[in-house]
Structure 1
């Protein structure tokens, strides 16, 4: 176990995750704004799960968390962190099974990873980007504290079309401000 929330466990991938991983990543609605094309073959899913299982969250490069429900151990998605060589900044990405969306799982998982990266590991900055049409992802990033820093028009050629990218950033200082509850103002006298 790497991280845990009230409803979720964020852990290393295991071989038994392959079927669930292939299922949600094969959903065209889930793959729409992502870098892969649905469907994901069982062989490709197995290779990715093996690769993810060997990752180290403390080393530079991408580490993919398996996101499972605590109640039944069901894999509901994955969350990636690309740690920069300097160890002080990282990029974030996430994928959630379509039937599990709209329940706050992605927000809960992202917040826990942010807490770990900023509060335990001491990172300075996190970034994320998404297709400008992916309003759900953009709203999630803003909900957890990211600020939109830019838009790159027609920047990415993917699935036969040019797409705009939205760029987001979150500094440790802003995270601390958001995580610290405001003190009530007491009247004088």
Structure 2
């Protein structure tokens, strides 16, 4: 998939060092399950698994997000298609050097266009640590509705955290004025 500034594509083996680099940044990993540093060897295994996935089959698929101007991997958008092929969960991670420029909005929006338009999904959900206000704001900007708060839901990095739940229906996406 391409947008004005991005290419969303399958991961390649050559992406592993860049994936390891941005996932090793403490602010990127703060609300994520992985520890820092994120070793290149672990990134190589992740990239291999990502490359083998299918964007239309049930299960996880991770899109590599490449900035067209500098042809650099700047983040990733993960999608877990449910077994019924009508629902999905979405997540995203971006290098801080490319945040606050509308690029995550552009990338996730493109994935949502595909999920709702081309793949015909009915509903997409997202979940984030309640302290992760930037991820929550991105989902809200994309039209997701906050559907719940799960108190002390996740034990991560030695602490219990609250999770915010978001949902977006195909009918809401189609009506949205973006």
Give me the whole-angstrom Cα distance separating, in 2, the residues matched to 1:163 and 1:67: 28
* Cα displacement string for residues 122-145 of structure 1 (whole angstroms, at most 9, x for unaligned residues): 100000000000000000000001
Deviation of 1:72 (Å) = 2.4
Give the aligned partner of residue 187 of structure 1.
none
SS at match of 1:4: coil
Deviation of 1:53 (Å) = 1.0
Give the aligned partner of residue 184 of structure 1.
none
If you compute each CA radius of gyration, which structure gives the higher value, 1 or 2? 1
Give me the whole-angstrom Cα distance separating, in 1, the residues matched to 2:70 and 2:36: 26
Deviation of 1:52 (Å) = 0.6
Q: Is 1:173 the counterpart of 2:162 in the alignment?
A: no
Give the aligned partner of residue 126 of structure 1.
124
Give me the whole-angstrom Cα distance separating, in 2, the residues matched to 1:158 and 1:72: 34
Give the length in aligned residue pairs. 178
Structure 1: runs of 5+ lacking an equivalent: 182-189
Give the aligned partner of residue 77 of structure 1.
75
Give me the whole-angstrom Cα distance separating, in 2, the residues matched to 1:130 and 1:37: 17
Please report the TM-score for the alignment, with normalisation by the length of structure 1: 0.92
SS at match of 1:57: coil
Please report the TM-score for the alignment, with normalisation by the length of structure 2: 0.98
Give me the whole-angstrom Cα distance separating, in 2, the residues matched to 1:44 and 1:88: 31
Give me the whole-angstrom Cα distance separating, in 1, the residues matched to 2:35 and 2:145: 29
Instruction: Select the residue among 10, 34, 49 that pairs with 2:32.
Output: 34
Give RMSD over aligned pairs.
Answer: 0.9
Structure 2: runs of 5+ lacking an equivalent: none
Give me the whole-angstrom Cα distance separating, in 2, the residues matched to 1:37 and 1:47: 15
Give me the whole-angstrom Cα distance separating, in 1, the residues matched to 2:11 and 2:117: 24
